[in-house]
């Protein structure tokens, strides 16, 4: 079976021009995913242009015929299958799952004492959360991101190192592939607008980070307290929201084995309507995480 994939002549001209400039195909796919194009379709289109340049097929202009198998993503999720996942020093229950993107609700990642210790360690180090300017790569404070945050260094003390091992086993990635934990604090009224966690290579900082460590591939959010009202983690393209509950976590993937990015991983933090919200974040990379200047956690903070 096959499918006719149609696209605009403007997109065709853009792909041709960017390839002429020498941009890597992976960068084109990241940009197309950020523009909410299905990553499987984007990959088929870019692959067709590359094949045309090698003389293997005519240059497409506004459509192409694609084998349906190429539009399927059969690669298994990184999160192990089954109702429970053994993660270093404890077993974590899987409460719910979905695919495309791989997404799971997990229970018992942290206990109350661990959550309170993380909050106590993080509180004196909180600073206004920033986003990265997509053109310049510089951090900036924006009104659509009203949390406070801080980063732990990877394995910065015995307690953090133990959690690094637990979370890395849960996410099925080496400890060294993880960025340092980020703790975020949302007072009443604070929110985080819809965003992606993967790095769009639209600025030199992101391109350099991808070159050092590879793309981000998965995220784990662990809630450090029960929120009185609001503060849900919302996936607007999936019509799915997670209510924060102490020790529970939301896990999701957005990069498959072929390096394709999934824009269905778009997510947001709903406003905290009453009380406060504390959350722990872990991002995993394709390779060992190497921060700019080896100076701790990466400056990209789209949480």
- Report percent pLDDT > 90 for the chain: 58
Residues 64, 192, single domain; the answer is no
Interval 84-114: pLDDT, tens: 999 999 999 999 998 778 899 999 999 999 9
Instruction: Write down which residue in 71, 95, 114 finishes a domain.
Output: 71
Residue 122 phi/psi, 5-degree rounding, is -80, -35
Please check whether residue 302 lies inside any domain of the structure: no
Residues 39, 88, single domain; the answer is no
| CATH number of the domain residue 218 falls in | 2.60.120.620
Residues 117, 185, single domain; the answer is yes
Interval 16-66: pLDDT, tens: 999 998 887 877 887 887 777 877 788 889 888 988 888 888 898 898 887
Q: What is the C-alpha to C-alpha distance for residues 23 and 156, in angstroms, rounded to an integer?
A: 37
Domain that includes residue 32, residue range: 2-71
Angle among Cα 54, 217, 16 to the nearest 5 degrees reads 25
Interval 61-87: pLDDT, tens: 898 887 766 666 555 678 887 889 999
Query: In this predicted structure, what is the pLDDT of residue 23?
Result: 85
Instruction: Write down which residue in 71, 95, 118 finishes a domain.
Output: 71
Residues 226, 171, single domain; the answer is yes
Structure pTM? Answer: 0.73
pLDDT level of residue 181 (50, 70, 90 thresholds): very high
Residues 61, 149, single domain; the answer is no
294 or 216: whose pLDDT is higher?
A: 216
Angle among Cα 123, 126, 132 to the nearest 5 degrees reads 150
Please check whether residue 266 lies inside any domain of the structure: yes
Structural domain tally of the chain? 2
Q: Using CA atoms in the order 173, 250, 38, 66, what is the torsion angle rounded to 10 degrees?
A: 60
């Amino acid at each position: 079976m096959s499918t006719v994939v149609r696209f605009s002549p403007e997109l065709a001209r853009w792909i041709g021009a960017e390839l002429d400039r020498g941009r890597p195909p992976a960068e084109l796919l990241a940009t197309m995913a950020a523009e909410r194009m299905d990553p499987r379709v984007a990959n088929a289109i870019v692959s067709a242009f590359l094949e045309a340049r090698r003389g293997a097929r005519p240059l497409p202009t506004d459509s192409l015929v694609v084998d349906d198998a190429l539009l399927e993503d059969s690669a298994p999720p990184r999160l192990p299958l089954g109702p429970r996942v053994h993660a270093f020093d404890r077993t974590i229950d899987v409460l719910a799952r979905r695919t495309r993107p791989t997404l799971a609700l997990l229970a018992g990642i942290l206990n109350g004492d661990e959550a309170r210790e993380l909050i106590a360690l993080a509180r004196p180090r909180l600073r206004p959360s920033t986003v990265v300017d997509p053109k310049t790569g510089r951090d900036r404070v924006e009104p659509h991101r009203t949390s406070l945050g801080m980063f732990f260094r990877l394995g910065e003390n015995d307690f953090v190192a133990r959690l690094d091992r637990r979370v890395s086993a849960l996410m099925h990635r080496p400890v060294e592939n993880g960025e340092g934990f980020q703790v975020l604090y949302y007072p009443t009224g604070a929110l985080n607008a819809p965003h992606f966690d993967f790095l769009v290579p639209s600025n030199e900082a992101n391109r350099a980070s991808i070159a050092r460590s590879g793309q981000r591939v998965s995220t784990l959010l662990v809630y450090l307290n029960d929120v009185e009202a609001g503060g849900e983690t919302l996936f607007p393209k999936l019509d799915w929201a997670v209510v924060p509950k102490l020790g529970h976590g939301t896990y999701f993937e957005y990069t498959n084995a072929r390096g394709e990015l999934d824009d269905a991983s778009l997510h947001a933090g709903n406003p905290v309507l009453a009380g406060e919200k504390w959350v722990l974040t872990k991002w995993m990379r394709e390779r060992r995480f190497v921060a700019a200047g080896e100076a701790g956690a990466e400056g990209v903070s789209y949480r």
